Amino acid sequence: MSFIKTTEQDSHYNNLEKMSINEILSNINNEDKTVPYAVEKSLPQIELLIEKIVDKLKNGGRLFYMGAGTSGRLGILDASECPPTFGVSEDLVIGLIAGGDSAIRKAVENAEDSVTQGWEDLKSFSISEKDVVVGIAASGTTPYVVNALNECNTKDIITGCITCNKNSPLSLTAQYPIEVIVGPEFLTGSSRMKAGTAQKLVLNMITTATMIQLGRVKNNKMVDMQLSNNKLVHRGVRMIMEELNISEEAAAKLLQEHKSVRKSIIHGRQ
């Protein structure tokens, strides 16, 4: 199979430094508009991976994201938002980045080039066939990710990926590849742009759909969210008011007593 890095191809736009701010913004926006349509073409692939993730998580497994640079940071972002949004434990969805936690803020030289560290990072979490590992790499060539997924395959661990190139080494390694082909970036090779946006959209789909399937949402509400600040407490009160058709005072009293929107609604109906 041929492999062409469309994410590295020359931008459709030239002489960027001669553009006005308005021209730059308009052209970036025009490129960004194409991303959801590229994601739409990948919905069947995304569905297949989510089905496997739901099955594993229902049976005590975990979801791992792993990547380098922007891709790794996006995985960590999505994983870190699952506990406050859906009330799940911090070890249900785990994000790993080449170079470790220090690479979240600052690039770590050559970390993504290691052919062994990805698997070592997974082993530190006692990875097993109960889990799912999703590699994230716009290029689809990151050794840290590709080699880790290859090792997972040899140990009957379900693997998926999110990449923005067709028939990349990562796509060919993952059992359930997701390929969102966004084409050349406005700024040649800057895959934090359209490719990063595409990855974020897919990650939103993966965890949101998975958590809904796991029963962490009621109607369209985040009834298991953590009440970690005043904004979320007020949101929880409004949810209870709407569900039970009761006053703000009564809803606040229920929430104060039960410390959970879901439990408040259950007890309020009894």
Is 15 in contact with 178 (CB distance < 8 Å)?
A: no
Task: Judge whether 112 counts as a catalytic residue.
Answer: yes
99/80 Cα distance (integer angstroms): 18
Q: Give the helix/strand (H/E) hosting 39.
A: helix 35-41
223/115 Cα distance (integer angstroms): 42
Annotated catalytic residue: which of 23, 90, 112, 249?
A: 112
Is 213 in contact with 53 (CB distance < 8 Å)?
A: no
208/202 Cα distance (integer angstroms): 10
Longest dimension (CA), the chain: 67
Residues with a known catalytic role: 81, 112
